[in-house]
Structure 1
Amino acid sequence: MPDRVIVEVDESLSDLIPGFLTHKRADIITIFDANARRDYAEIGRIAHRIKGEGGSYGFETMTEMGRSLEQAAALHDDGAVVTLARQLLNYMDRLEIVFQPSED
């Protein structure tokens, strides 16, 4: 089994995280489809959203990957898009989320 990636997330987000991760997986599938069509605008939009949302939910690595995907789309770099999308899926497959008490 690959090494787990432990991410600590505020427990107030516990109801939102499963749906968020499901949507990000769907986004990655859309990226693969868009890449096959060479629809770099679509890839860029999705990557920009991943970049913004990742950090909001406590997934800083996802934000960095979204940034890299956005750059690859801007460069029309098919190979980099595929590689980065696979890396993002691999990251998500290895996630272990630990909910931490809210700091109220």
Structure 2
Amino acid sequence: MAINIKDPEADRMVREAAARRKQPITDLIKDAVRALEAEDARAKQERYDRIMAATRRVQEAFAADPLDYDPHAYSEELNDDVLRDNGLFDLLGEPPRGVREDPK
């Protein structure tokens, strides 16, 4: 199967890597795509873990005082007051959609 990579530098890099590894170019490309997909999955999992940690902290804050229960805090967009009060903007890395950070 002929591989036609239009970018000459990319073509050279792929052919050299395939020659070094003594693999067909298609196998090399498949391995590279699998590695990129695994890296993307790890990054998504790390972000999910950070968001779940923030969600647990919000839920624990409400569990400590049931009178402060706010059902909207569990929605997709976490209550910005709760996030701000508990310092969770830093944990998320960015404010949720629709939430503006306080100007400093």
Tell me, yes or no, whether TM beats 0.5.
no
Structure number with higher relative contact order (C-alpha < 8 Å, ≥ 6 residues apart): 1
Larger strand proportion of the pair: 1
**TM-score (normalizing by structure 2):** 0.26
**TM-score (normalizing by structure 1):** 0.26
